[in-house]
Chains A and B, each alone.
Chain A
Amino acid sequence: MSGDGSPLELTEDTALAGELARAWYVPRGIVGWFSVVDHRTIGKRYIVTAFGFFIIAGILAGLMRIQLAVPNNHFLGPDLYNQVFTTHGTMMMFLFAVPIMEALGVYLVPLMIGARNIAFPRLNTFSYFVYLFGGVMLTATMLLNTAPDVGWFAYVPLAGPDFSPGKRADFWAQLITFTEVSGLAVAVELVATIFKTRAPGMSLNRMPLFVWSMLVTAFMVIFAMPSVVTSSTFLLLDRLVGTHFYNPAEGGDALLWQHLFWFFGHPEVYIIFVPALGIVSSIVTTFTRRPVFGYTAMVLSLVATGFIGFGLWVHHMFATGLPQLGLTYFTAASMIIAIPSGVQIFCWIASLWRGRPRMETPLLFVMGFIAIFVLGGLSGVTLASLPFDLQVHDTYYVVAHFHYVLIGGALFPLLGGIFYWFPKMTGRMLSDRLGRTTFWVLFAGFNTTFFPMHIVGIEGMPRRVYTYPAELGWGTLNLVSSTGAILLVLGGILLLYNIVRSSIAGVAAPSNPWGADTLEWSVSSPPPVYNFLYVPVVEGRNALWDRADDPPIVTGIRSDCREVLVTTVMDATPSNKCSYPEPSIWPFLCAVVTSACFIGSIFTPWALPVAILPLTITLIGWFWPKDERSDSSTARARERSEAA
């Protein structure tokens, strides 16, 4: 563990740096902004956009808490309240939580594995714009009194054509299409990147745990999202062209929606949670200055979580009267998934015990994660018990549970990750002092807001109610919750202030301010456009700590064009090379056409055939090969002769 993680820069290689900078340039100007295919830029755009939606959804939550602060309140009428809570949940789950985790993957994975970009860079750009347009569409519905109002999981028949007239539920269902297209594209990119473009020497068992977590997440996305795409498409068809998938009067089935949605919906929460586990491992490693205890167990736990997560979905349907024997299986499975999570918690505690923890802001957020997520996980275990669930299902107890696991299990690690990686992304340090204050404010605010909800759910308060009677005694605890929300807002403001101030005037960050072990810390902060001057050869599980003083590198990759190295899946031995594309406007144009088609089809089925021609044109523009600069004259001549 001798490497100090300093970047490799030799004065003689400013020539190399210049050549690579020209090859991997990030275009400027207005057209350039839409043509960027660079993973760091797209990753940062995703992060900023996702936080934008987080703020909007947070404000909606604030409105909900004002309405619920006292019984029989008149701040929001029932129709507006229903739009507010639906949009809050939909925005948080589809426009913030999943995209931001994928965004961290998009930004960090290529850097952590020694690659110069993510695989399929134009697809990456396309996916960002589709996500953005979908989010803008949903936000616009709020301003036009046509926001969805059927809950973030939109049960039928309530969300169907008979009971939700108008376009509200259509916008919800189409938002799914936007975010799933975007999410699936990124998942495929991540699998290809992680399996095939790792630096030589980074065999699978030397991959950082964060990369493992993104790999597992990408697989979960690929297998889970088709289910919700199917279910939401069926809903749109029922609503727009008169099909009968969910219409019991014509052989359809109301429970079909629940099966299809929750087959996606349960893995969805692990899609949000598993990357956070990767963040925690990264932070624990760095701030204890030791490799995480039990690497193999940690990897197996991630994989096990991914698999088992697909076998739990019916625990959302315990009250629907399905056969008892089947339900018993789902109780057992829902309990068992606590085991891999438990293993991870125990390994992290062992790491903290063994190492020398530096309690700076990222690690503080990890401690907050332990305190909050474990409580949420335990309330989840109680929910797995069918008889108990029959009482607390659809009450504020469940609201408390999922906020504990989502905020504790995903948001707190995410915030720790923001403090940890902000220097790398921007070249500035965030204020640690302010960070610690922010942590305590958020920790106190979170528990004040959400802990009472366990109690008020036990006292009988159902979910999704715009008001409640005074006689039931729920007023006091609701007021406490609403007061706690003020602290959460305050914490958010402190965080935002920290980010803005540090972006402008923060302390300049060296390449490895934390003395961390993963490859992204071997390059400058922020990284150069080509990521690595030399593609490294990795010699151990903790790349920078196991690195010799004369670190081995790869030669023979062209620096005058966007050539990358493709390696084998298991051992990352060099296999062949590949040319990544230059910046291109076509992914953006394709996203515009796709989005117009999606939105148009809410209003008329003709949008689909009309979109075919423009879509074909943009796709042809996208894939039409340019005179590939990656072909040197000799290479081209050789290939022509082979072709003859």
Chain B
Amino acid sequence: MSLSRGALIAVSAATVAACGGNQNMFNPHGPAARSIATLGWWLFAVCGAVYVLVLLTALWAVARRWQVSDDAPAKLQTLARSVTGATVITAIILIGFTVASVVAGRGLTSPSGPGAVTVDVIGHQWWWEFQYRDVTPSDFVTSPNELHVPVGVPVRLQASSRDVIHSFWVPNLHGKRDLIPGLSTETWIEADTAGIYRGQCAEFCGVQHARMAFVIVAEPMSAFLEWIAHQRMPAAEPAAGDARRGFDVFQRSTCITCHTIRGTRAGSRIGPELTHVGSRLMIGAGTLPNTRASLVEWVANPHSVKPGVRMPPTPLAAADRDAVVTYLRSLR
């Protein structure tokens, strides 16, 4: 793995951990989000002005001093004209909003250019399966919970779910799209600056809906292609040491009933693929940073951080567990 890539991951990990404006829809880093944010500012400006006006008028209406002439028929006419006028202005504003929404919306349904990349987004309770298609099926790349995209290029997403309805949402880049079992929905994202963007499931999907997050890593095309090529490679079998011990423990433990590590016998697709788990930024679908301590905690008992998750605790002796973690961390 190149030095620049390692540096990027280190910086990004720090950013993810410390970033305050990360999931803010008014912090757009892509054309779709930017278009929506602009629309949003206009909506707020106009609605804000209307609100202040209505409130002040209401307060003035009660605070003013009543005069006998207020009961005169002429005053009723004035009131009628005012109410009519206000209604007409309201209608005009609403029509304006509708037009603005349609205009902003047109750009959102289709990407800015030909989609260079297509990714299948498959929702599970409670993790994300991102699968990059290729001409050759054996070259498909599956990257759980971490979606890499090239900067400045639209990425088409075909979304569905294996179980219940989820919703794919990365506010810095685009609005959300539901993942519905039995249907395939489509959306696209494009990042115009390199960086790491956090996304989160936005449709209540059960006990751990709150901890079903993912990261999007936007990088230059060359880095992206390098990443994809690397992801295609199967896992290297460690020769010796703690990693070898971990490999042996893994292959004979319950781990293989759910996880795939390409290049080994472990081929189950129930849980996230672990072929390159060592190079990921987070584990547990955005729950913990990918550090040694986190992995130990997760492997021992994921329910201590994400109660109700589908993965059971793994009963291993401490030394075996440490070895497995060493092995997993070697899978970069």
The proximity string for A residues 49-76 relative to B, scoring 1 for CB distances below 8 Å and 0 otherwise, is 0000000000000000000000000000
CB-defined contacts of B314 to chain A, threshold 8 Å: none
Residue of A nearest to B103 (CB): A387
Minimum Cβ distance to chain A for residue B209 (Å): 6
Q: Is residue B265 within 8 Å, beta carbon to beta carbon, of the partner chain?
A: no
How many angstroms from the CA of A563 to the CA of B164 in the assembled complex?
A: 57
CB-defined contacts of B242 to chain A, threshold 8 Å: none
The proximity string for B residues 166-186 relative to A, scoring 1 for CB distances below 8 Å and 0 otherwise, is 010101001111101111011
Complex contact B39–A394 (CB within 8 A):
no
Minimum Cβ distance to chain A for residue B68 (Å): 11
Q: Is residue A140 within 8 Å, beta carbon to beta carbon, of the partner chain?
A: no
Complex contact A324–B109 (CB within 8 A):
yes
Q: Is residue A550 within 8 Å, beta carbon to beta carbon, of the partner chain?
A: no
Minimum Cβ distance to chain A for residue B148 (Å): 21
Q: Which of B183-214 contact A (CB under 8 A)?
A: 183, 185-187, 198, 200-211
Q: Which of A157, A255, A294, A335 contacts B163 (CB 8 A)?
A: A157
Q: A320-B180, A339-B94, A472-B22 are in contact. Are A78 and B210 (CB under 8 A)?
A: yes
Residue of A nearest to B85 (CB): A346
Minimum Cβ distance to chain B for residue A155 (Å): 6
Q: Which of A335-360 contact B (CB under 8 A)?
A: 335-336, 338-339, 342-343, 345-347, 349-350, 352-357, 359
Residue of B nearest to A465 (CB): B210
Q: Is residue B82 within 8 Å, beta carbon to beta carbon, of the partner chain?
A: yes
How many angstroms from the CA of A349 to the CA of B86 in the assembled complex?
A: 11
Q: Is residue B225 within 8 Å, beta carbon to beta carbon, of the partner chain?
A: no
Q: Is residue B102 within 8 Å, beta carbon to beta carbon, of the partner chain?
A: yes
Q: A78-B307, A155-B203, A388-B43 are in contact. Are A467 and B210 (CB under 8 A)?
A: yes
CB-defined contacts of A463 to chain B, threshold 8 Å: 202, 204
How many angstroms from the CA of A350 to the CA of B23 in the assembled complex?
A: 43
Residue of B nearest to A317 (CB): B178
Q: Which of A319, A379, A467 contacts B167 (CB 8 A)?
A: A319
Complex contact A335–B202 (CB within 8 A):
no
The proximity string for A residues 136-156 relative to B, scoring 1 for CB distances below 8 Å and 0 otherwise, is 000000000000011100010
Complex contact B307–A77 (CB within 8 A):
yes
Complex contact A374–B55 (CB within 8 A):
yes
Q: Is residue B57 within 8 Å, beta carbon to beta carbon, of the partner chain?
A: yes
Minimum Cβ distance to chain B for residue A251 (Å): 9
CB-defined contacts of B307 to chain A, threshold 8 Å: 77-79
How many angstroms from the CA of A458 to the CA of B47 in the assembled complex?
A: 16
Q: Is residue B50 within 8 Å, beta carbon to beta carbon, of the partner chain?
A: yes
Complex contact B39–A253 (CB within 8 A):
no
Q: Which of A339, A382, A387 contacts B90 (CB 8 A)?
A: A339
Q: Is residue B16 within 8 Å, beta carbon to beta carbon, of the partner chain?
A: yes
Complex contact A321–B177 (CB within 8 A):
yes
Q: Which of B36, B102, B176 contacts A331 (CB 8 A)?
A: B102
Complex contact B62–A335 (CB within 8 A):
no
How many angstroms from the CA of A335 to the CA of B98 in the assembled complex?
A: 7
CB-defined contacts of A391 to chain B, threshold 8 Å: 25, 33, 36, 40, 171, 175-176
Complex contact B58–A367 (CB within 8 A):
yes
Interface centre among A150, A350, A391 (most CB of B within 10 A): A391
Minimum Cβ distance to chain B for residue A319 (Å): 5
Residue of B nearest to A340 (CB): B87
How many angstroms from the CA of A359 to the CA of B308 in the assembled complex?
A: 54
How many angstroms from the CA of A321 to the CA of B161 in the assembled complex?
A: 14
Minimum Cβ distance to chain A for residue B17 (Å): 6
How many angstroms from the CA of A395 to the CA of B175 in the assembled complex?
A: 12
Complex contact A382–B182 (CB within 8 A):
no
Q: Is residue A381 within 8 Å, beta carbon to beta carbon, of the partner chain?
A: yes
Q: Is residue A248 within 8 Å, beta carbon to beta carbon, of the partner chain?
A: yes
Q: A158-B164, A249-B182, A387-B108 are in contact. Are A382 and B61 (CB under 8 A)?
A: no
Q: A335-B94, A388-B39, A468-B210 are in contact. Are A382 and B47 (CB under 8 A)?
A: yes
Interface size class of B (residues with CB under 8 A): 35 or more
Complex contact B83–A359 (CB within 8 A):
no
Complex contact A473–B20 (CB within 8 A):
yes
How many angstroms from the CA of A254 to the CA of B125 in the assembled complex?
A: 16
CB-defined contacts of A345 to chain B, threshold 8 Å: 54
CB-defined contacts of A378 to chain B, threshold 8 Å: 47, 50-51
Q: Is residue A421 within 8 Å, beta carbon to beta carbon, of the partner chain?
A: no
CB-defined contacts of B198 to chain A, threshold 8 Å: 460, 472
Minimum Cβ distance to chain B for residue A350 (Å): 4
Q: A359-B62, A367-B58, A391-B36 are in contact. Are A339 and B26 (CB under 8 A)?
A: no
CB-defined contacts of A471 to chain B, threshold 8 Å: 16-20, 22
Complex contact B108–A395 (CB within 8 A):
no
How many angstroms from the CA of A355 to the CA of B61 in the assembled complex?
A: 9
Q: Which of A245-274 contact B (CB under 8 A)?
A: 248-249, 252-255
Q: Is residue B330 within 8 Å, beta carbon to beta carbon, of the partner chain?
A: no
Minimum Cβ distance to chain A for residue B312 (Å): 17
Q: Is residue B254 within 8 Å, beta carbon to beta carbon, of the partner chain?
A: no
How many angstroms from the CA of A391 to the CA of B200 in the assembled complex?
A: 12
Q: Which of B24-64 contact A (CB under 8 A)?
A: 24-26, 33, 35-36, 39-40, 43-44, 47, 50-51, 54-55, 57-58, 60-62, 64
Residue of B nearest to A389 (CB): B175
Q: Is residue A562 within 8 Å, beta carbon to beta carbon, of the partner chain?
A: no
Complex contact B66–A338 (CB within 8 A):
no
Complex contact A388–B86 (CB within 8 A):
no
Interface centre among B40, B66, B83 (most CB of A within 10 A): B83
Q: Which of A353, A374, A385, A461 contacts B97 (CB 8 A)?
A: A385
Interface centre among B95, B163, B171 (most CB of A within 10 A): B171
Since A375-B51, A390-B108, A472-B198 are in contact, a sample of 8 more A-B pairs with Cβ atoms closer than 8 Å, ordered by chain A residue number, is: A254-B183, A321-B186, A353-B64, A354-B76, A384-B97, A395-B202, A459-B24, A471-B22
Residues in chain B within 8 A of chain A (CB atoms): 16-26, 33, 35-36, 39-40, 43-44, 47, 50-51, 54-55, 57-58, 60-62, 64, 66, 70-71, 75-76, 79-80, 82-83, 86-87, 90-91, 94-95, 97-98, 100-102, 104-105, 108-109, 125, 163-165, 167, 169, 171, 174-178, 180-183, 185-187, 198, 200-211, 307-308
The 5 closest A-B pairs by CB, nearest first: A248-B182, A390-B175, A460-B23, A321-B185, A465-B210
A-B pairs with beta carbons under 8 Å apart, 20 shown = A157-B165, A163-B164, A254-B165, A293-B83, A294-B80, A324-B105, A331-B101, A350-B82, A353-B60, A354-B79, A384-B101, A385-B39, A385-B101, A389-B175, A391-B36, A463-B202, A464-B210, A465-B210, A471-B22, A473-B21
